[in-house]
Chains A and B, each alone.
Chain A
Amino acid sequence: GAGVSQSPRYKVAKRGQDVALRCDPISGHVSLFWYQQALGQGPEFLTYFQNEAQLDKSGLPSDRFFAERPEGSVSTLKIQRTQQEDSAVYLCASSLKRDTYNEQFFGPGTRLTVL
């Protein structure tokens, strides 16, 4: 496809359920990022992959959050035992190279609502 895609676009979960959010980056992009965007706020960094290696997971808020990118393309963000404070839009971004200055292209996000 032409851009970063994410699925599902909307997810409603009951508190305590596990959820899995998928990101398909732009083909050939080496770097992949996950951000969390609370309502009315800017995106906040969660984690970063370079190919299949998770190089930075300093932004993951708790050990209930887990991300993987096993083959260096598609990535999944998993949240276990969801809590109401996990409600947010989860954004995925990819960039072509590993350079610091490289442009990050964002997907449309997955809006997670935890009841």
Chain B
Amino acid sequence: DAGITQSPRHKVTETGTPVTLRCHQTENHRYMYWYRQDPGHGLRLIHYSYGVKDTDKGEVSDGYSVSRSKTEDFLLTLESATSSQTSVYFCAISETSGNYEQYFGPGTRLTVT
């Protein structure tokens, strides 16, 4: 299994509070991704990174920001959480660009009340 961990694994927070989710990899892969999983939508890309300090938006990036200061860590921040951001968040990594598979972390279940 690819060495990917996510923290926390579960979090309950209140509307309007900031939240940061962490993804940590031990594979030294260049590409990292954040997805959210919601019923009826599958997984949707929030943001991704193609190197340290290099990030770009995915299809559902509004309300989210990311940072990558080290190869191994990719942080997802909800500046002011809303109930619509209640979801399961998955981090993924990929060794290189092109048509290569991604490896997924175990997920973080976030509930915004």
Determine if chain A interacts with chain B.
Answer: no
Interface residues of B (CB under 8 A from A): none
Interface residues of A (CB under 8 A from B): none
